[in-house]
Amino acid sequence: MSVSVCRVYDDVRPGTTRLFVDRLWPRGVRKDDPRIGEWCKEVAPSTELREWYHHHPDQRDLFAARYRQELGSGEQAEALTHIEKLAKAGDVELATATKDPSTSHVPVIVGELAGAGS
- Strand order through the sheet with 38-39: 3-7, 91-96, 16-20, 38-39
Instruction: Label residue 115 by pLDDT band (50, 70, 90).
Output: confident
Residue 117: its pLDDT value, please? Answer: 55
User: Cβ atoms within 10 A of the Cβ of 53, count?
Assistant: 20
Q: 40-70, pLDDT tens digit by residue?
A: 999 999 999 999 999 999 999 999 999 999 9
Among the residues of 5-90, which ranges form H helices?
47-55, 60-71, 74-89
Residue 95: its pLDDT value, please? Answer: 97
User: Rounded distance, CA 56 to CA 40, Å?
Assistant: 25
Q: Vertex 50, ends 4 and 100: CA angle to 5°?
A: 40
Q: 65-111, pLDDT tens digit by residue?
A: 999 999 999 999 999 999 999 999 999 999 999 999 999 999 999 99
Give the up-direction half-sphere exposure of residue 63: CA atoms within 13 A in the CB hemisphere.
24
The domains of the chain are located at 3-116
